[in-house]
């Protein structure tokens, strides 16, 4: 065993990423150590680098969703089915931990993603506390973190193509209560939007429409069960995009609209695309990008709209999304979301490509 491993460290917002050596992690009782196979670069990492998230304990090792092989465990561990976790097994893990199961949010509101004790690998974990992020040659799995074996036959690159968008996208579709025969509009063609679109189609939507940019992301959408896409470049005026949706819904608007853009102005626009008594889910406003003005009478009250937020995802969403990936990847090919693979020492380049939307998703192969 080497004494040290390498990890990419985000020392502060806007600072160049550094490759640093860390003591090779050892598992605590009930924990494990993974040999990292792949870890994702996603929009959240760009936000982290731009300092757009509050309370991030820089320096951090980014990388929340990752997969790897079990190198060592601290005693016997089981997966959620009660099957033993074995050395060498290909696993991922639910990146959220510390959710207490004892507070008001957990027990009374049953809103575990709002538990104040909740922590996330690669986001709220400091590099001072260990190798708790995926942009590293090894990852320390703390006791209580849920390991999840990748089902047989699942291509690790396909899994990473879904990445954190798997759980988030499934959660958003669940919130939207997509029903058989629905028309669903997804605003945004990043990984969350693409996964939401795929899960809307798998939920039995008769038509899934994606509005986004740039063109290569929309091409991926059309290869993955999305019926039609609209490029923002071809319809720069919001009113034209509303007309486009209404033209495809007998003038009524969509049964459900899922916002996955990060742009506050998408919200009033998306509400205009919604039919009377439709469901609108906001999942793309992960950072505070500012305010938007809606007309409460026209957009919500008279429309009899249901407007829902969607924060993070729970283990159930991640687990079920991976089961769907295992079932449908042969046909849908989540692998196509991975535009580029990088070694760790090109972390800055990977982040820049993500920020410039040059890639749908990038991954590290440490
Ligand atoms: Zn709690
Ligand atoms: Zn992510």
pLDDT digit string, tens, across residues 262-282: 999 999 999 999 999 999 999
The average confidence (pLDDT) of the chain is 96
Which residues does 356 contact at the CB level (< 8 Å), separation at least 6? none
Nearest ligand (C-alpha, residue 40): 2
How far, in Å, is the centroid of ligand 1 from the Cα of 109?
Answer: 10
Q: Which residue blocks in 8-149 are alpha helix, DSSP H?
A: 43-49, 104-107
pLDDT score recorded for residue 2: 62
pLDDT score recorded for residue 31: 98
Nearest ligand (C-alpha, residue 362): 2
pLDDT score recorded for residue 1: 54
Average pLDDT estimate for 162-169: 97
Q: Are 261 and 189 in contact, with CB atoms under 8 Å apart?
A: no
pLDDT at 74 over 90: yes
pTM: 0.96
pLDDT band of residue 100 (cuts 50, 70, 90) is: very high
Closest CA to 100 of 116, 124, 88, 87: 116
How far, in Å, is the centroid of ligand 1 from the Cα of 123?
Answer: 18
How far, in Å, is the centroid of ligand 2 from the Cα of 200?
Answer: 20
Q: Is the peptide bond before 50 cis (omega within 30 degrees of 0)?
A: no
Closest CA to 260 of 104, 28, 44, 14: 44
pLDDT score recorded for residue 334: 97
Average pLDDT estimate for 139-143: 98
How far, in Å, is the centroid of ligand 2 from the Cα of 179?
Answer: 27
Residues of the chain with pLDDT > 90, as a percent, come to 97
pLDDT at 147 over 70: yes
How far, in Å, is the centroid of ligand 2 from the Cα of 181?
Answer: 30
How far, in Å, is the centroid of ligand 2 from the Cα of 290?
Answer: 21
How far, in Å, is the centroid of ligand 2 from the Cα of 360?
Answer: 12
Residues of the chain with pLDDT > 70, as a percent, come to 99
How far, in Å, is the centroid of ligand 2 from the Cα of 172?
Answer: 15
Nearest ligand (C-alpha, residue 169): 2
How far, in Å, is the centroid of ligand 2 from the Cα of 44?
Answer: 5
pLDDT score recorded for residue 169: 98
């Amino acid at each position: 065993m080497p004494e040290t491993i390498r990890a990419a460290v985000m020392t502060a917002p806007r600072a160049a990423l550094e490759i640093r050596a860390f003591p090779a992690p050892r598992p605590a009782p009930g924990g494990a150590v993974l040999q990292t196979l792949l870890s994702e670069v996603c929009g959240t990492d760009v936000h982290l680098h731009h300092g757009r998230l509050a309370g991030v304990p820089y320096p951090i090792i980014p990388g929340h969703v990752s997969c790897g092989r079990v190198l060592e465990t601290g005693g016997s561990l089981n997966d959620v089915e009660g099957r033993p976790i074995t050395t060498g097994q290909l696993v991922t893990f639910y990146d959220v931990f510390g959710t207490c199961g004892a507070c008001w949010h957990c027990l009374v509101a049953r809103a575990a993603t709002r538990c104040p004790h909740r922590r996330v690998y690669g986001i709220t974990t400091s590099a001072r506390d260990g190798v708790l992020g995926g942009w590293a040659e090894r990852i320390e799995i703390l006791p209580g973190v849920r390991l999840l074996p990748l089902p047989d036959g699942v291509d690790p690159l396909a899994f990473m193509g879904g990445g954190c968008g798997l759980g988030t996208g499934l959660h958003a579709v669940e919130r939207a209560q997509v029903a058989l025969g629905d028309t669903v509009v997804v605003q945004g063609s990043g990984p969350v939007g693409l996964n939401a679109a795929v899960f809307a189609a798998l939920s039995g939507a008769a038509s899934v429409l994606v509005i986004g940019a740039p063109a290569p992301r929309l091409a991926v959408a059309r290869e993955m069960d999305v019926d039609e896409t609209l490029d923002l470049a071809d319809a720069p005026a919001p009113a034209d995009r509303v007309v486009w949706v209404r033209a495809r819904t007998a003038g009524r608007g969509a049964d459900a609209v899922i916002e996955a853009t990060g742009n506050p102005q998408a919200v009033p626009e998306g509400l205009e695309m919604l039919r009377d008594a439709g469901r609108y889910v906001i999942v793309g406003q992960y950072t505070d990008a500012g305010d938007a003005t809606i007309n409460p009478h026209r957009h919500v009250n008279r429309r009899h709209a249901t407007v829902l937020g969607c924060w993070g995802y729970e283990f159930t969403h991640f687990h079920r999304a991976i089961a769907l990936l295992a079932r449908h990847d042969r046909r849908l090919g989540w692998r196509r979301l991975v535009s580029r693979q990088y070694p760790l020492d090109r972390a800055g380049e990977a982040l820049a490509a993500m920020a410039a939307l040059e890639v749908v998703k990038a991954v590290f192969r440490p």
